[in-house]
Amino acid sequence: MQKYLRIYHILLRLNFSALVTYRTNFFNAVIGSFVWGVFSMVSVLLLTSRTPFLFGWKREEIVLLTGVYSLFIGIFHFAFSRNFERIPIYVRLGTLDAMLLKPLDTQFFVSIFLINFASIIRIIIGSLVIWYLLAQTQTLVTISSIILFLLFLSAGIVLLYSLWFMVTTITIWYPDLSNIVEFLFSFSNVGRYPREMFARVNRFVFFFLLPLTFIVETPLKGLLDKLAPLEIGGLIGFASLFFLISRIFWKFALRHYTSASS
């Protein structure tokens, strides 16, 4: 464990050096992160502009959900997203070979190699919105609810990570499908909406989307002290299950990896 923490620390330093070296790239990424952060807020304000109360949620609560989503997705993009974009490239160019030879867990290595510092902007935007709305609605937040929030936020990140990883693993067989990661960006948007919104859709579609409805809603309910036991079980259960499946699937996929040069 200590070895992995040390490696992560080194990677943080290396990624920071890259950021300082390629400042224009970083500046552009910051603009992108800021624009999408603001967009998610603007879009939810526009969507809810006609109704102050929807799906059993007040308008401020839906905006708060988007704020938590911004914070959540900011952390996710900071730690993982860029790595998922690279996995199909490793497969196509055969550079995965070198990673497989390293005395490290390959899933760990391919998942954390690149760190996107620009996403801190989204974390800041999300945090500011949460802070502002909690203050506006005079919601009492206790230390225990903040701990619950952070705990469930981490579980949500594990769940989303596992879903992304499972889907990206498919590129071991089909490296041409590198754009599947772009689809995952859209797919994760489901977490921005209240679960109740999907209650009317086809049962199959609902169960397909169900895990994603836990990633942001459960941490928020933890913060607001509105958690039901089923909700806690749902998030923890899905996160553990999908993480396990993602590991098994990755190991299975590696058995079919043929390398680009062999």
Partner 1 sequence: MRYFRIFFLHFQQAFALRSRSMVWFLISLFNPVLFYIFWAGAYHEKGNIFTSWNLSNVAVYYILLVIAGSLLIVHIEEDVAHWDIQEGGLSRYILKPFPYIWLKFFEELPWRLIQGAFGIITFVVFRILLGDFLSVSLPLSIVILAVCIWIFAYLLSFFYKMILGISALWITDYSGLQQISEVVIVIFAGLLMPLEFLPDTVRQIATALPFSYIIYYPLVALQGKLNIVDMLRVIGIQSLWIIGLHFLFQLLWKKGVKLFTGIGQ
d(CA 253, CA 170): 8
Name which of 62 and 232 has its Cβ closer to partner 1.
62
105 part of the interface to partner 1, by CB under 8 A: no
| Cβ neighbour number for residue 32 with a 10 Å cutoff | 14
Position 247: which residue type?
Answer: R
What is the CB-side half-sphere exposure of residue 100 using CA atoms within 13 A? 15
At closest approach, how far in Å is the CB of 240 from partner 1? 27
Nearest to partner 1 of 4, 174 (CB atom): 174
**Residue 54 near partner 1 by CB under 8 A:** yes
CA gap 149, 221 in Å, rounded: 8
- Is residue 93 a contact residue for partner 1 (CB under 8 A)? no
In the complex, what is the shortest distance from the CB of residue 89 to partner 1, in angstroms, rounded to a whole number? Answer: 14
12 makes contact with partner 1 (CB under 8 A): no
Q: Per DSSP, which regions of 36-186 are E strands?
A: 53-54, 57-58
230 touching partner 1, by CB under 8 A: no
* CB contact burial 219-231 (16+ within 10 A = b; e otherwise): bbbbbbeebeeeb
Residue 82 beta carbon to partner 1: minimum distance, rounded to whole angstroms = 13
Contacts with 68 (C-beta within 8 Å, 6 or more apart), sequence order: 126, 130, 153, 216, 219, 220, 223
Specify the residue, 105 or 196, whose C-beta has the smaller distance to partner 1.
Answer: 196
Q: Which stretch binds partner 1 (CB under 8 A): 73-81, 96-104, 195-203, 252-260?
A: 195-203
Is the dihedral angle over the CA atoms 68, 162, 33, 79 positive or is it negative? positive
Distance of alpha carbon 63 from alpha carbon 40, whole angstroms: 9
CB of 20 to partner 1, least distance (A): 16
CB of 62 vs partner 1, minimal distance in Å: 10
Select the span of 1-9, 41-49, 107-115, 128-136 touching partner 1 (CB under 8 A): 41-49
User: How far is residue 68's CA from residue 153's CA, in Å, rounded to a whole number?
Assistant: 9
Q: Does 91 bind partner 1 (CB under 8 A)?
A: no
What is the binding site for partner 1 (CB under 8 A)?
Answer: 24-25, 27-32, 35-36, 38-39, 42-43, 46-47, 49-51, 54-55, 174, 176-180, 182-183, 186-187, 189-190, 193, 196-201
